[in-house]
Amino acid sequence: MRKSYKFRLYPTKEQEIVLVKTLDVCRYIYNEFLADRRNAYDRCNKGLTTFDQINQVKYLEFKTKVFSQVKQDVLRRLGKSFDAFFRRCRSGGTAGYPRFKGKDRYNSFTYPQSGFKIEDNKLKLSKIGKIKIKQHREIEGKVKTCSIKRDTNQWYAVFSVDMEKNPEKVNPNTSIGIDVGLKSCVTLSNGEQYDSPAYYRKSEKCLAVQQKRLSRKKKGSNNRNKQRQKVAKVHRKIRNQRLDFNHKLSRAIVNRFDRTVFEDLSIRNMVKNHHLAKSIKDVAWGQLIQMTKSKAEEAGKYVELVNPCNTSQKCSNCGNIVKKGLAVRVHKCPECGLELDRDVNAAINILNLCTVGTTDRACGVTDVGLGYEAGSHPF
């Protein structure tokens, strides 16, 4: 099992200049060898492989010294881009030919095997030096790669770790069905609901002010570049807030339940509705589900995705289909007389569709002590 650890870096001004120059070298290599691949196919009708280009990159010399394996990893990254391009061509999707990377569009480089080491609260990088690192927790497992990433004016080190042993699977004694939505971020089959913080919606006014100022700056000027970074910082704050919320919520779910059941939603198709797209992206259902899956895997627990067809229309008590629009928030069954919140009804139906283990599926309640009031956050 693979796991990632992300730590903040605090380079000096001199070290930051070296990091930026290293990114520029990597971007130059990426663009040059992308052009080589394109020209080889256009002129000779011949494709170049990643191995062919790795043998060529060692002959390039730069003023900024870059670790050899970092340069080789750039070409593996380019090779993956072409592999994905050909895969999309075969599957009949949008091809998306690999693009040249402009300035500030190439923001990471990777040490794939060696050339990095943490010692005395500093990250030692080959050809760069020792950079102060905020290691807020211990790294478990065997470190495989180290990626250095730039996010506006901040730098991070991301370690990919190979966990030596997979955790033993637990007996799924406690289960929960979860219906994701816009009014409530998640609705549990036991009746609990947690409202979405809607961080983007709350920051729209601030973002509009910064974007308006950006539109007034002269293109190519230093003031425009400074303002562009201010806009990026607002987006970064929104992204980090959403990330923090989903991390805490997914952790609370995994800690409380042995098995979690979500709908297998096609979010890419759902955001084609321009009336709901902004709200759907703001709640980030896909991110929450992915985080829950990764945490459950680490804990030896289960996450199951079920078919979302008619989960909101079907009565969780008798199975009768009760048609209702999005504006109708209460489920009322004319057959059995069941009346409850439509999202709770959907969550119970989602739980009833799961296939692993046993639980009291009729009401969707497990033997977990809840301890939280509806509408509050479980963290």
Q: Which pLDDT band, with edges at 50, 70 and 90, does 97 fall under?
A: very high
- Mean pLDDT over 285-312 rounds to 92
3-state secondary structure the chain: CEEEEEEEEECCHHHHHHHHHHHHHHHHHHHHHHHHHHHHHHHHCCCCCHHHHHHHHCCCCCCCCCCHHHHHHHHHHHHHHHHHHHHHHHHCCCCCCCCCCCCCCCCEEEECCCCEEEECCEEEECCCEEEEEECCCCCCCEEEEEEEEEECCEEEEEEEEECCCCCCCCCCCCEEEEEECCCCCEEECCCCEECCCCHHHHHHHHHHHHHHHHHHCCCCCHHHHHHHHHHHHHHHHHHHHHHHHHHHHHHHHHHHCCEEEEECCCHHHHCCCCCCHHHHHHHCHHHHHHHHHHHHHHHCCEEEEECCCCCCCECCCCCCECCCCCCCCEEECCCCCCEEEHHHHHHHHHHHCCCCCCCCCCCCCCCCCCCCCCCCCCC
pLDDT number for residue 213: 96
Q: What is the pLDDT of residues 42-78, one digit of tens each?
A: 898 888 899 989 999 988 889 899 999 999 999 999 9
Mean pLDDT of the chain: 88
Q: Which pLDDT band, with edges at 50, 70 and 90, does 364 fall under?
A: very low
Per mean pLDDT, which range of 123-132, 208-217, 346-355 is the poorest? 346-355
For residues 281 and 268, what is the distance between their CA atoms, to the nearest angstrom? 10
- Mean pLDDT over 285-292 rounds to 94
Q: What is the pLDDT of residues 10-40, one digit of tens each?
A: 999 999 999 999 999 999 999 999 999 999 9
Q: Which amino acid is at 275?
A: H
pLDDT number for residue 316: 86
By annotation, the residues acting in catalysis are: 179, 263, 343
Q: What is the pLDDT of residues 140-185, one digit of tens each?
A: 889 999 999 999 999 999 999 998 777 888 888 899 999 998 888 9
Token pair in block for residue 135: 């290691």
Q: What is the pLDDT of residues 227-243, one digit of tens each?
A: 999 999 999 999 999 99
pLDDT number for residue 129: 94
For residues 1 and 167, what is the distance between their CA atoms, to the nearest angstrom? 9
For residues 298 and 4, what is the distance between their CA atoms, to the nearest angstrom? 12
